[in-house]
Amino acid sequence: MEGISKETLQRLPTYLRLLKEMRQQGIMTVSSTTIADRLRLNPVQVRKDFAGVSSSAGKPKTGFETEELINDISDFLGYNDASQAIIVGAGKLGKALIGYSNFKSYGLEIIAAFDNNADKIPNDTHSIPIYAIEELPDFVKKTGVHIGIITVPKDEARKVCELLVTSGIRAIWNFAPVHLTVPDTVAIKNEDMAASLAVLSKRLSELLLED
Amino acid sequence: MEGISKETLQRLPTYLRLLKEMRQQGIMTVSSTTIADRLRLNPVQVRKDFAGVSSSAGKPKTGFETEELINDISDFLGYNDASQAIIVGAGKLGKALIGYSNFKSYGLEIIAAFDNNADKIPNDTHSIPIYAIEELPDFVKKTGVHIGIITVPKDEARKVCELLVTSGIRAIWNFAPVHLTVPDTVAIKNEDMAASLAVLSKRLSELLLED
DNA sequence: TAGATTGTTAATCGATTAACAATC
DNA sequence: TAGATTGTTAATCGATTAACAATC
């Protein structure tokens, strides 16, 4: 229960995707070796990760039941009971995330968007309402929503973050290119494209040197 | 030079942002303690990270020169000579990334987009051309572009990835919710929203339990 | 000088992996 | 039975942090 490291936690969604893919192919049972091969991981690591979240043991010689693993991991990640979230900033990135239908299968349901120019924004395609940002605090209080997603330009991000915190939001997913900090009573995940890009670029330049 | 861990590498862009912010405020010199406080890190870690990328030492009692650090980190990350990239998939997310003007300051220049329905896509706002996907291999060969960004729906991602690899792309930044694997001669970064969300959700539920 | 801050060495911590007995 | 695969203990590896002398 407690023994799950952050690293394990981050691998779980990847396992889940692969397992679902395998299930679709009619694969009923899968070994840690197979999974490790597909994901370029160590089989011992895979087994340890599974042991942390799944009560059902694997069988020597056969491996794990695909279906059981899918259930256990989904449960552990809370994919079966979605949490509600609001998003602030209905620009391109905001809309992309709103339209990203997969979120629901990841246990996240975006129920409303907020924007400075709520009235100017054509509410095409999307089924969720867009409100003026002034209505945010009341909305949060009324609905008790816990998660806020920030997709505003970087100059507004800090202000929006504060507003979310004072309104009672308890978890913030920040896509603006600023490092936001919050009180200890609030969880934050700074989604840092620049950091990802740095890793990729570095590997690329190593590869190019090898040629 | 080689001594840079992946973790350090990922922290560098964060340092850089903070340092630039400070420079704008006219702060000429900064201590590792100050930076650590702002970013919730350990000051020793900050100093070690700096030592890995910057030749200029800090001065006891005063700290580091903001400007020098900015230069050294920017150089190290290659932000001063942008790499060219192409993007495959000009849907909402693709357009959001294309329009994300900040990339250039991160050393990434997106020079063209490719899409199944290139002709149907209104090439609004954006200055880069959108081509049919069939033209991708020739384009890559002609321009020698190294980096490919995948923003197609998940069912097409694998196919697109293969196309990129066979066309000669050497680094792939994948935003589709699939775990892609590539030959060792190609660098890949699977941008995994589900993994980020898992970490955030877990912290949130821990917080809510504390209440 | 006294005090803040540096750079570095050593200790700690945690995650990954190797080794191996158990078992289907 | 023989062989593949499991779960777990111990060894390894690497990153973080504590301790501290050096110095502006």
pLDDT-flagged residues of chain A (< 50)? 1
Judged by average pLDDT, the poorest of A195-204, B82-91, B114-123, B155-164 is B114-123
Place of tokens 């000429």: B28
**Chain A CA closest to residue B169:** A204
Rounded average pLDDT over B155-166 = 97
Pairing of strands B83-88, B64-65: unpaired
**Any residues with CB less than 8 A from the CB of B125 and at least 6 apart, and which?**
B99
Which DSSP category does A59 fall into?
B
Share of chain B above pLDDT 70, in %: 96
Q: Which positions 147-206 of B are in contact with A (Cβ < 8 Å)?
A: 147, 154, 170-171, 173, 177-179, 181, 185-206
The reply to whether the CB atom of residue A29 sits less than 7 A from any atom in nucleic acid chain C is no
The reply to whether the CB atom of residue B56 sits less than 7 A from any atom in nucleic acid chain D is no
Position A2 scores a pLDDT of: 52
Rounded average pLDDT over B14-43 = 95
Position A1 scores a pLDDT of: 39
Estimate in Å the CA A43 to C1' D9 gap, whole number: 16
**Chain B CA closest to residue A85:** B201
The reply to whether the CB atom of residue B8 sits less than 7 A from any atom in nucleic acid chain D is yes
Tell me the pLDDT tens digit for each residue of B40-49: 999 999 999 9
Which DSSP category does B82 fall into?
P
Using DSSP's 3-state secondary structure scheme, residue A64 falls into strand
Which nucleotide's C1' sits nearest to the alpha carbon of B32?
C5
What pTM was estimated for this model as a whole? 0.91
Position B55 scores a pLDDT of: 86
Q: What are the structure tokens assigned to B14, written together?
A: 């964060």
Which DSSP category does A178 fall into?
S
**Total length of chain B:** 211
Q: Give the best residue of A10, A83, A92, A105 to mutate against chain B (max B CB count within 10 A).
A: A92
For strand C, which nucleotides have at least one atom less than 7 Å from a protein CB?
3-9, 14-19, 22-24
Position B1 scores a pLDDT of: 38
Q: Is B23 exposed, middle or buried (0-12, 13-18, 19+ CB in 10 A)?
A: middle
**Total length of chain A:** 211
Rounded average pLDDT over B69-83 = 93
Position B123 scores a pLDDT of: 66
**Within 10 A of A1 (CB to CB), how many other CB atoms are there?**
6
Q: What are the structure tokens assigned to A67, written together?
A: 């279906």
d(CA A84, CA A177): 24
The reply to whether the CB atom of residue B57 sits less than 7 A from any atom in nucleic acid chain C is yes
**Any residues with CB less than 8 A from the CB of B23 and at least 6 apart, and which?**
B66, B67, B70
At residue B134, φ and ψ (nearest 5 deg) are: -65, -25
Give the residue from A135, A130, A127 showing the smallest Cα distance to A113: A130
d(CA B86, CA B134): 14
Position B147 scores a pLDDT of: 97
Place of tokens 């702060």: B27
